[in-house]
Every structure is written in C-alpha cells, then in structure tokens.
Structure 1
Amino acid sequence: MFLSRLLDPVKLAAREAGAELWRLYQTGDFQQQQKADASPVTSADLAANSIIIDRLSTIAADIPIISEESYQVPLAQRQNWPRYWLIDPMDGTQEFVARSGDFAVSIALVERGWPALGVIYWPKEDVMYYASRGNGAFKQQHNLINRIHVNTHQAGNILKIAISRRQPLQPIIDLMQHAEKVEYIALGSCSLKSCLVAEGKADCYLRLGPTGEWDTGAVHVIVEEAGGKILDSEFTALSYNQRTTLANPDFMVMGKASIPWSDLVKSRPTERDLSA
C-alpha cells in the first residue's frame, strides 16, 4: 500500500522534470560544463534535479534523497537509512548535448538496500516505464498502459543485444563470443537500454564502463518485475548503499532466465576498486 500511494506522485514528478528537460532541449537554452570525472553536466540536469527534489520532498518529507547532481552523503550517515530516494535527473546527458533525444528521468525508491519502486520517463517519446516490487512492470505511452515482460527467447533465434551509441562495439563482441546469432540495437541512455530488455525488444544489455547506482536503481525493479535480472560481470547481484562510493561495477541486464547467459557471456572481472 505504501508503494502504491507513492507511485502516481513520483510519475508526475518525473513527467514534470522531463517536460522541463524537453523545453530546454528544444530551445537550446542551457549551459554545459565538465564535472571532476570529466563527464558532462548541463544547467538542464540541474533544473530537473531541483524539480525532482522539490516534488519528492513534498511527497514524503521524511525520506532522504541521493542524486547524481547533488551533494553525496557519506556512507556513515546513510548506511542505516531504511529507505531513500535515488535519482538521476537526466540519464543520458551526452545524448542531450549530442541532440539524439535519447535521455530520460530516473527516480527510484530503495528500501533496506534494494530498489522497491522505479520510474523512467523518456520525454522525446512521451514514454513512462514504471514498476513497484511485487506489482509488475508497465509501459505508458500517452494514455495507453501495457504490462511489459522480457522476451520469450527461443533457442536458435537471433539474440538481440542493446548497445550504446557512443561506446566501442568490439568489447561487447568479445564478451558475446559464444553466441552464434547476434543483432545489436543502438540506443542512448543507460536506463532506456535497460528498459528495452524489460519490454522484450532486446534480450540483453551489457554495460562496460563507469555508472552510478542512480543509473540502475529505477530500472532494477522494472527489469526484475518484467522477469529479468541485473547482475555484475561476474554474475553476482548488484548492491546499493554499501560502499563509500556509489559507483557500479560493469553489469548485465538480462532477459529470459531460461537463456544460458553464463554460457553465452564471458565472465569479466571487475576492474574498478569498489571496496567499502
């Protein structure tokens, strides 16, 4: 009941932030700069961040917030939180700047270390993906709402792999060396590629390179409620709010459990130091 009461207000917050992103995208009225890690951030990211934090604070003032674009709370302060919001006001800033339109708003609620509610809004297509734990995953486009499921892949069929528009393809090819028939589907935004798996348009998404927990929080519950899994590159579960940094290891968004993923995808040891 608690999650059900939160879902509609969170969807409205995502839609409002997305509307502001789309307005700034269309007008070009934004400024760009680099963060300390050399990744881009724009005034549009910050505008959406402000809207979301304001709305979430109104929805549930007692729930703390972690955002990619806000001050990062030290582990000692946050590690015992029973629940918190985990947000990425604009997932796909590079796509925003490059004018592809493949960017999205991502809002998750994490409870006891695991995502319990997730909302992804794609302004360009007016598409909302959302889920809450135990209640299924859904896609809403305009006023049409459908429950979504991962693809019922059959042995021998072409395996559809979601990939980034802006990362080298060869490392993905190397990891999929045991799959005979592969089709690659390019899309921007980490969360949107994960949602392709959730709705059955792709069978897998392999993410190599830096991401934060805010990149997977919302899609984690959406993918799992659609019948899929998100695991790190050594086939173990991702974790939340357990490390000093909020960096993710390389990870895989996988569809149908009956697909022999451990045979098809070569295990790849984590290269970044994710120690607590």
Structure 2
Amino acid sequence: MFLSNLLEPVKAAALEAGTELWQLYQSGNFEQQQKADQSPVTTADLAANAIIIDRLSTLTPEIPIISEESRLASLAERHQWSRYWLIDPMDGTQEFVARSGDFAVSIALVEDGWPALGVIYWPKHQVFYYATRGNGAFKQDSQQIQRINVNHFNVGECLKIAVSRRQPLEPIINLLQVEQNVEYIALGSCSLKSCLIAEGKADCYMRIGPTGEWDTGAVQVIVEEAGGQILDSEFLPLSYNQRDTLANPNFMVLGQASVSWQQLIKAKATLRDLTL
C-alpha cells in the first residue's frame, strides 16, 4: 500500500518537471555548462531538479533524496538509509541539447538496497513508463494504460538491439557471440532505451560508458516487472548505494529471462574493458 499510495504523486512530479523541460526545450531559453566530469548540464536540468526535490520533500519529508544534480551525501551517511529517492531530473541532456527530443525524467524509490518504484516520463510523447515491485510494469499515454512485457525472443530469430543515436555500432557488433540476424533500433536517453526492452520493442541494450545509479534505478524495477533483467558485464546484478560515487559498471538490459544470453553476448572482460 505504501508504494501504491506514492505512485500517482510521483507521476505528477515527473509530469510537472517534464512539462517544464519541454517548455524550455521548445523555447530554447536555457544555458549549457560543463560539470566537473565534463558531462553537460543545462539550466533546464536544474529547473526540473528543483521541482522534483520540492515535490518529493513535501510528499515524504522523512525520505532522503539522491539526485544527479545535487550534492551527494557521504557513503557513511547513506548507509544509514533504508529507503531513499534516486532521481535523474533529465536523462538525456545531450539529446536535449542536440534537439532530438529523446530525453526523460527518471524517479525511483530504493528500499533495502533495491529499486521498488520507478517512474519514467517522456515529455516529447507525453508517455509514462512505471512500475512498483510485485505489481507489473505499465505504459501510459493520452489514450490508455497498458501492461507491458518483454518480447518473447527465441534464439535464431532477428535480435533487436537498442543503440544510441550518437555512438558507433562496431563495439556493439563485436560483442555478439555468433553470426546473428540483427536489427538496430536507435534512440536517445539510457532510460528510454531500457524501456524499449520493457515494452517488447527491443530485446537487449548494452550500455558501454559512464552512467550513474540514477540512470538505472527507475528502469530497474520497470524492466524486472516486465520480465527482463539488468546485469553488469559479468552477468551479475547491479548494486545500489554501495560506492562513494554511485558510478555504474557497464551493463546490459536484457529481455526474456529464459534466453541464454551468455550464448549470444560476449561479456565479462570484453564488455567491461570497452569504452566509447
């Protein structure tokens, strides 16, 4: 009941932040800066961040918040938290700047070290993806709410791989174990590509390069509730709130759990050591 009661207010916060992002995107009234790690941040990221933090702080003042765009508490302090919000006010800042429209708001609630609630909002299409642990995954647009599930892929069929609009395909091609009929589906935003797997429009997504836990928190529960999984380069589960920086390893978003993905994808050191 706790998670169910939070879901609609969290969706409302994501919608409000996403509406602000879309207005700034359309007007072009934003400024771009570089963060210390050389990744881009805009005044739109910060505006969305302020909205979400204000709404969540009002909704659950007792639950701490981790955001990509806010100061990170120390690991010692965070280890005292049994529950916390994990947010990325705009996943896909590069797509925002490049004018593709492939950016999203991402909000997760982590309980006892694992995401339990996830909401993704895509302003361009006014679409929600969301899930709470044990209750299935859903997609909502202006017309309907539908339960989503990963694609029933069988080895030997065409493998649909979600890929970035802005990174070369060769490293991904080199990760395939065997000669395989493949279709590449290009989309921006880490979370939106993961949602493609959750709704069955793609079968896997291999993320090579820097990400943070806020990039996977919300989609972790959405993908799992849709029947998929997110694993690191050793085919092991990700972890949350166990590192100083909250940096993720390279990871894979995989569809149907019954597929022997290790027969299809070269992982371990091959995936771990690649950078784009």
TM value normalised by structure 1: 0.97
Paired residue for 1:188? 188
Question: Structure 2 CA distance, aligned partners of 1:163 and 1:141?
Answer: 24
Measured on the aligned residues, the alpha-carbon RMSD in Å equals: 1.0
Q: CA deviation at 1:80?
A: 2.1
Structure 1 equivalent of residue 26 of structure 2: 26
Conserved 8 A contact 1:172-1:206: yes
Tell me the TM-score normalized by structure 2: 0.97
Task: Give the SS at the match of 1:70.
Answer: coil
1:246 and 2:246 are equivalent in the alignment: yes
Residue 88 (structure 1) aligned with residue 88 (structure 2): yes
Shift of 1:268: 3.2
Deviations 1:91-134 (A, max 9, x none): 00000000000000000000010000000000000000000000
SS in 1 for 2:206: strand
Give me the whole-angstrom Cα distance separating, in 1, the residues matched to 2:265 and 2:210: 20
Instruction: Give 5+ residue unaligned stretches, structure 2.
Output: none
- Asked if residue 256 in structure 1 is aligned to residue 259 in structure 2, the reply is no
Q: Is 2:94 aligned against 1:98?
A: no
Query: What amino acid does structure 2 have at the position aligned with 1:132?
Result: T
| Secondary structure of the structure 1 residue equivalent to 2:183 | strand
* 1:174-200 deviation digits (Å, cap 9, x = unpaired): 001425111110000000000000000
CA distance in 2, matches of 1:15, 1:89: 11
Identical amino acids, percent of aligned pairs: 74
Unpaired runs of at least 5, structure 1: none
CA distance in 2, matches of 1:135, 1:114: 15
Name the CA shift for 1:119/1:69 in 2 (closer, same or farther; >3 Å).
Answer: same
1:184-263 alignment, distance < 5 Å = 184-263=184-263
User: Match of 1:156?
Assistant: 156
Shift of 1:156: 2.1
With over 3 angstroms needed to count, the CA separation of the structure-2 counterparts of 1:179 and 1:268, relative to structure 1, is farther
Match of 1:71 in 2: 71
Deviates more, 1:153-162 or 1:244-253: 153-162
Of stretches 153-162 and 101-110 in structure 1, the one that deviates more from structure 2 is 153-162
Specify the code of the residue in structure 2 equivalent to 1:14.
Answer: A
Q: Is the 8 A contact 1:175 1:266 kept in 2?
A: yes
Which residue of structure 1 lines up, in the alignment, with residue 115 of structure 2? 115
Q: Is the 8 A contact 1:179 1:264 kept in 2?
A: no
Amino acid at match of 1:175: L
CA deviation string 1:9-39 (max 9, x = no partner)? 0000000000000000000000001001111
